[in-house]
Structure formats: structure tokens, C-alpha cells
Amino acid sequence: MERRTLFQGWKLPVALVLPQLLLTFVFFLWPAGQAVWYSMTQQDPFGLGSVFVGLSNFRELFADPLYVHTILRTLVFCFAVSALAMTVALALALVANRELRGRAIYRTLLIWPYAVAPAMAAILWLFMLDPEIGLLGHPLVKAGLPWDYHVSGLDAQFLVVLASSWKQISYNFIFFLAGLQSIPQSVIEAARMDGARGWRRLRTIILPLLSPTMFFLLVVNLVYAAFDTFGTIWALTEGGPGKATETLVIKVYRDGMINQDIGGSSAQSVVLMLGVIAITAVQFRFMGRRTKT
């Protein structure tokens, strides 16, 4: 069904759209344009001037094995966070979708972590898992478990994945719950009468019907893990030990803000931007096709 309002003249529609366009321009297009420009320049060490260097920043970037490593590390990190956050959220949503006593309370509580600021979330996890003072970490170390994320890269990676996933579980939970509730009850009942139960019902009926939700969440989670985890990771490990938990955004920040390599850092931003555009384009095409049928 097509619903259109027809305006006479062009002034009112332009006036109505202008605030949004301005916001988009000031906060998105302009900075993005600047990043693209900086990525093709080289600053002098004192920040007093810059020269146009074309694509040499990018060439340098991809010639650097450390950068390629960071890309791979980020990919692993993103998929680990997405997998963990989605699996746990789905499990919780499946439980919350049942007839439960106190269901409303349970659902509300599960949404809370979403409201916790990234740095706060990091501190909460530090208090729990720090090997010296952590409520859980200290007893574990005393019990002889070799656990120290200050030293072990693997431990640190485990920690940032855990903390980052925890932040995202609430978001996924809401979408999974909504997705589950949009599955007609009678379809589930038909499956019950056909004899499908437990794991089989989940695999052959529920998951296929949830697949649009899952795909959407996968994209959102990947983007979240790639960008929004900066605060959590920085507060937990600052990308260390060594470069064990350095993702692309951490590297952008370190190279640009700390090491003052504006050109190189901007080039990394542009690469990230292209990545997001690619993911979003894939999602739009896929979702668009689904809604048409």
C-alpha cells in the first residue's frame, strides 16, 4: 500500500527535512569527509602543517604485518563476542518465553546491563576477575588456577570477550524474545503434535523461523564488537598485554591520539568505515529481499 502526502511547493518539505540533514552533515558526513582527507595527508611531528601524500598511508598500512594481525584479531574477537552474546541471549530468551512465575521481573532484570556504561561494565568485571582483588579471580588464583590477564594474552582476550558480550546480551535478548513471541503459538503446537520436542523443535522449527532476527543481530553484534567495545577494552586492558587485546578501534586511538600519527590513523578509520558500509549493504540487500516476498 502506498501512502503519500503531497505538498504544494518545496519550502515546507525542505524546512521539515533540514534539521535531520544538518545533523547528518555536521555529525556524520563532515567528520567522515575529514577522515578521508586526513587519510591522504602526512602531518609534521609538531602538527603545524601537512602534505598531501595520496594513498601512501594505505599502502604503508597493508604492508605492515602488525596491522594485518590486528585485522585478524579483530575478526576473531568480533565473531567470538557475537557468538557468545547471541547464544546466551537466545538461551535466556527461550526460558523467558515460557510460562514462568515472575516472568516480568526476570525480563526487566535481563535488560539492565544494557544501561550500564562500558567503562562501568569493565570495572564490574575487574572487581570480579582481578587476580589480586577480584571476588572470583582472587580465590581462583589461590586455588592454584593460573589466571592473570595482566600477563597472559589469552586470559586478557577471554576477559574482554566476556565483558563485551555481557554488555550486548540484553540487546540480543530483547530481539530474540520479540522474535520468539512473533512465532505463532499454533505452529509450535502443531510441532508438538507432530512429536517434535526439545532440541529437535528448536533446530527444525524455532531457529529457522528466527533466522531473520538472527541475521539482523549478527550484523548488529559484529558492528558492536568492532566499534562500541572500545570503552570496555580500554578500561580493562588498554589493548594489552602487549597487543593481545588490541582491536582495530584501539589501534586507531593509540596511533592517532597517543602516537599522533593522524594520517595513518585516519587511513585505518577509512578502512573501518568501508568495512561497515560493506556489512550494512549486505544486510540491506538481504533484509530487503526477505520483506518483499
Q: x/- contact string, 148-187, with other proteins (CB under 8 A)? A: ------------------------------------x-xx
Q: Does 111 bind other proteins (CB under 8 A)?
A: no
- Residues in contact with other proteins, counted by CB under 8 A, come to a total of 19
CA distance 221 to 226: 8
Q: Is 225 exposed, middle or buried (0-12, 13-18, 19+ CB in 10 A)?
A: buried
Q: Does 103 bind other proteins (CB under 8 A)?
A: no
Q: Does 31 bind other proteins (CB under 8 A)?
A: no
**Shortest distance in whole angstroms from residue 197 CB to other proteins:** 7
Q: Does 33 bind other proteins (CB under 8 A)?
A: no
**Contact between 127 and 121 (Cβ < 8 Å):** no
CA distance 144 to 69: 33
Chain positions 40 to 69 lying near other proteins, rule: CB under 8 A, are: none
**Shortest distance in whole angstroms from residue 206 CB to other proteins:** 11
Q: Which is nearer to other proteins, 88 or 183 (CB)?
A: 183
**Contact between 147 and 141 (Cβ < 8 Å):** yes
Chain positions 181 to 240 lying near other proteins, rule: CB under 8 A, are: 184, 186-187, 189-197, 200, 204-205, 208-209, 211
**Is residue 263 left, alpha or beta, with left meaning phi > 0 and alpha meaning psi from -120 to 50?**
alpha
The binding site for other proteins (CB under 8 A) comprises 184, 186-187, 189-197, 200, 204-205, 208-209, 211, 293
